[in-house]
Amino acid sequence: MTSPHQSLQRTEAVARRQLLDVQDYDLRLDLAADDKTFGSVTTIRFSSQGGPTFLDLKPVRVNEIRLNGAIVDPDLLERGRLPIETVAGDNELVVDAVMPFRNDGEGLHRSTDPADGASYVYGMMFMDAAPSVFACFDQPDLKAPYTLHVHAPADWTVVANAPGTNPEAGVWEFERSQPLSTYFVTVVAGPYHLITDHHDGIPLGLSVRASMASALDADADELFTMTKQCFDEFHRLFGIRYPFGNYHQAFVPEFNAGAMENPGCVTFRDPLVFTSRVTRGMRIQRATTLAHEMAHQWFGNIVTPQWWDDLWLNESFAEYMGNRVTADVTEYADAWVDNAYARRQWGLSADQRPSTHPVAGNGAKDASAALQDFDGISYAKGSSILKQLNATMGDDVFFAGVIDHFTRHRFGNATMHDLFESWERAGAGDLSAFTTNWLRTAGPDRIVLDRSAGVIRRTPPADHPADRSHTFRVAVATDGGWSTESVTLEAPETAYDLKGQALVLDPFEDTWAVVEADTSSADALAELLPSVEDPALRAGIWNNVRSAFHNAALSPAAVVDLVVASAPVESTEDSKRRLAPWLYGDVLPLAPAGSLERVHAAMLGKLGSTEVGSEFQLSALRMAVSTSSDPDELRGWLAATPDGISLDLDLRWRVLVRLAALGATDAAELQAALDAEPTGESRVAHMRAAVSLPTAEAKALAWDVFTGRLDVPNYELEAAGLGMWRDGQEELTASYVDRYFDELPYTVQVRSGWVLADATEFFFPVTSLSESTLERAELLAADDTLALSVRRRLSDCADDLARKLAIRKAYPTS
């Protein structure tokens, strides 16, 4: 079943760009009309070669459309497109429409804070959401300046891409912006708590909903300090000043992504304003996200990709520069170590799937296809390859080429070829071989140690052959210590003199490849790992282990042995890319009986041996909660936490969610906890706990969310999916496995865009480890009548399931 709106084809974008040149947009938004819709009057001035084209528009209803003064029949609008007949020369198009507020994190998202009943609005125009806010020619290479006029409730503050004024209550007027692609336009409006500052001539701002004001006040100094440090470094590296006026960072509710780089008004998910205690890993994640979005002001905003197949020019660069600048100039010098835990396996897993694609030139024929490639390849792999390229070129040539690129295409659009020509002009030499092997060929090489043959083997993926050389460090364990040496692989087999009892290949991420811990090294690591103090080496060891497990080259039992020997409490944040979720979701369900109890005991041991008040103590307690099977123990922590840890909102809900999964609480207790502290964070956690209960009613609630019979915001949608499929509840959820595949195609009727794909993944039956489930997943993923985003995400879930089945077959537990 296909989407009700058409996805822009690349051929259509090329034709429209050849026909049109957009001079400017004037937008009038009335956000005070009601809480379901808003008024949107768009005036577009553009020149044309003359002839037919189409406008993008997704309204609730149209009041009037005029092209060059003549009325256009609104009934011509079909599936988000309005055909128009332009005249040669100047044209003016005025569209007066009523648009929908949305609750899926796209378009103009409106939410009500359960803490105080206040409503908040923000714009997320990415990919194809802009036409649900204003009439436009929605493609990245039709950039134009925007002038916004906003009517809002009198007690609201409004921020947009350009500086603005508030001449009278409820009226906001904004300056004409620099040329922007449609997907960068935003407006953030509501009774936000606002803090301002300035640096080097740039006005700075921070905002969050009023109920989180004290948390932002507590974090403001750190956020402003990092912002100033990053600006100074980007100005030093690029020699080009930030050109978009104000730099506002808005932390907004129910945001789908980590952040969005809108010029002048960057939007972030508001859980990045910490209302409960967090570990250093979460602070590093926030710091690198902040720097990533600032890097976009140059990579993406000053110069924007011509088409989505060059999205890596945005994301790979921002990922590389964000981590680099964070590590170089902020207090988080260990940002690259955290990146190893949080991002490396995300990219490697994506690159090994059937859905892998090149970093560059990914062949996106339409905007919907391009959306599927905002994945670990475009971020983590692209960043790693740019890091390699920088190491080869050196900073002087690397940044000279980048600056040339920004200068030649300032406020315009460009392609990968344009950038590489700039590098070659800067002295990089012929980069064609690098481009072919690393950027235009999908898949990673697999690098393994063959102890019996005394060689290191390099094997390119069979479906994507390439001839890549690799130079990287090897960590060698000798006499209780570690040394490193450099290895270069230029052939399929390279002789290697085994000097130590354990080897770790490429622990410091010098190259992009799947490197796996061999069985002998893994056995030795159980003894060696506890004494490894170098955090980068520890991260490299865990990535070797994760890759070997992913490819069924290391048993779940061996992984559990390592966890028990040296609990990985240095990286336990609640991201599916880190160690703890991998351990709970992938390893333990396949591990021998008693493994959960062994891991729990190890976490209790770590909890008792770590420094009171340290982040490791907090991490150990969180992992102990997640692995506990004893309701009395969990309730003991509700009554009294260990010294050095307070029972804040986050920890309380972690315990309640675990009690729910064990069937040791009920809906009434969970509702009482929500009523006691009815914040947005509580509402999401409550949903996850409520559907985790081992009852028919709980699973029916989750299913109503999946089918759209119960309409909830995007964060609660995710929570419902995560809580539904619980280990040990397979009998209760068995009937939903077939229902998932039967009903998934129809979800396109109740959601679209980002959350359509997300719901496919969130509700996939991850606990149904059977060949029949895999067969149904692969069959449905092959159905070309299914929405493309659903097919892609379903294919990836099927790959995950196939790997779990392969691991279970290789290492049966009974």
By annotation, the residues acting in catalysis are 293
Give one DSSP letter per residue of 632-680, joined into a string: HHHHHHHH-PPTT----HHHHHHHHHHHHHTT-S-HHHHHHHHHHS--H
Query: Within a 10 A sphere around the Cβ of 719, how many other Cβ atoms?
Result: 26
Altogether, the residues listed in the chain come to a count of: 814
Integer Cα distance of 685 and 666 in angstroms:
14
Among the listed residues 224, 462, 229, the one whose alpha carbon sits nearest the alpha carbon of residue 356: 462
Tokens representing 485 are 């040496």
Among the listed residues 618, 623, 615, the one whose alpha carbon sits nearest the alpha carbon of residue 642: 618
Give the residues across from 43 on adjacent strands.
26, 94
Place of tokens 């697999």: 446
HSE, CB side, 13 Å, CA atoms: give it for residue 624. Answer: 22
Helix (H, G, I), strand (E, B) or coil at 136: strand
Cα separations (Å) of 19 from 135, 617, 782? 18, 62, 37
The distance from CA 809 to its chain's CA centroid, rounded to whole angstroms, is 32
Question: Tell me, what DSSP letter sits at residue 76?
Answer: G
Place of tokens 């002009």: 425
Integer Cα distance of 792 and 786 in angstroms:
10
Tokens representing 509 are 């991420």
First to last CA, the chain: 42
Among the listed residues 417, 347, 354, the one whose alpha carbon sits nearest the alpha carbon of residue 383: 347
Integer Cα distance of 673 and 181 in angstroms:
44
Integer Cα distance of 241 and 174 in angstroms:
22
User: φ, ψ for residue 196 (rounded to 5)?
Assistant: -125, 160
Asked if 300 and 266 count as a contact pair (C-beta separation under 8 A), the reply is no
Integer Cα distance of 653 and 270 in angstroms:
18
Helix (H, G, I), strand (E, B) or coil at 720: helix
Alpha helices in 482-594 (DSSP H): 519-528, 535-550, 556-565, 579-582
Q: What is the dihedral of CA 326, 395, 342, 443, to 10 degrees?
A: 160
Handedness of CA 575, 317, 347, 530 (dihedral sign): negative
Asked if 42 and 134 count as a contact pair (C-beta separation under 8 A), the reply is yes
Element (H, E) at 206: strand 202-208
User: φ, ψ for residue 22 (rounded to 5)?
Assistant: -90, 125
Place of tokens 């010029």: 263
Query: Within a 10 A sphere around the Cβ of 659, how many other Cβ atoms?
Result: 23
Whole-number CA gyration radius for the chain: 26
Question: Tell me, what DSSP letter sits at residue 180?
Answer: B
Tokens representing 655 are 């315990």
Asked if 416 and 386 count as a contact pair (C-beta separation under 8 A), the reply is no
Asked if 177 and 146 count as a contact pair (C-beta separation under 8 A), the reply is yes
Handedness of CA 12, 14, 20, 22 (dihedral sign): positive
Asked if 157 and 191 count as a contact pair (C-beta separation under 8 A), the reply is yes
HSE, CB side, 13 Å, CA atoms: give it for residue 114. Answer: 14
Helix (H, G, I), strand (E, B) or coil at 764: coil
Among the listed residues 799, 751, 767, 784, the one whose alpha carbon sits nearest the alpha carbon of residue 699: 767
